[in-house]
Structure 1
Amino acid sequence: MNKQYKLDYESPIGIIEIIGSIEYIHAIMFSTQKNIVNVQQADTPQILVDCREQLHEYFQGERSTFTFPYIFEGTEFQKAVWHALTGISYAETGSYKEIAISIGNEKAVRAVGSANGKNKLSIVIPCHRIIGSNGTLTGYEGGLWRKEWLLQHEKAHFRHELK
């Protein structure tokens, strides 16, 4: 496996840890750290710097899609779920059932929920856009308060033409 690098980004909803190699971003996760630990170094790959910049643009309401290369690391089923999540547009929401149907496995609602919870590319693979079939917020690894913040943020910036 390629050498892994880390870079932190201080977002409005907490520190986000970016993990990647020189080729791909592997994880974007909310951290429990109170302060930035992983700062940019001379050998920090440009891809991590690009990811941090694009996250900053997202949080500024200037970006709705991401262009840096990332890689899914999981089972084929998980990868199918994560790919389907990318089909939920900015400021829109979906349900586990809709994702299950979209991957051709209508009865796999619980398995879709499990795969959703294992997503390591927060925000970029928009698992925060999944809500309950009844319209309520459902679990989110980063905490329901963050999920609510992200959904409100996207709705507030949806009217603009974003990157």
Structure 2
Amino acid sequence: MNIAVIVGSLRRDSFNVKLAHAIAKLAPREFTFKHSQIGDLPLYNQDDDANQAPAVNRLKAKITAAKGLLFVTPEYNRSVPGVLKNAIDHASRPYGQSAFAGKPAGVIGVSVGAIGTAIAQQHLRNTLAYLDVPTLGQPEAFIQVNEGLFEPDGGIGAASRQFLQSWVDRYVAWVKMHAR
């Protein structure tokens, strides 16, 4: 079961990239998580819809080939990062040719803030609803970075493992239920 992973952070030591890799370790073996590069996408311009850049075509092909989507987003200024919104705009265009339509998704994120990425996730869910992306609603996962969240091997630490395993189990069931 091929999952396209879209992380809304370009930071070298991104907590959200770490979370994406740790989630993959909690999933069953039949799930393969393939990270989608979004940092090299040009800024979205509708004038380019008829001749999308190679980086855009690569992203759309990765999403099209996937059975499900995993969005892992930080929260910037109480919303999703611009790089993530840019990627979504590219992959959903031109109008009527969205690579996202009907693909089941999970939305999660991690932040140093007390509310995790709650508002960014809500903004992202609004966008995904418009794009016909069935998104796992419960359990919500607003993760705050704390000591021990990640093990030295990149896995989830003991204090958060049960909760995140439960989230991953629900996500896996969601994708299986919706995947075509």
After TM superposition, the score normalised by the length of structure 1 is: 0.29
The structure with higher relative contact order (CA 8 Å, sep 6+) is 2
Greater helix fraction, Structure 1 or Structure 2: 2
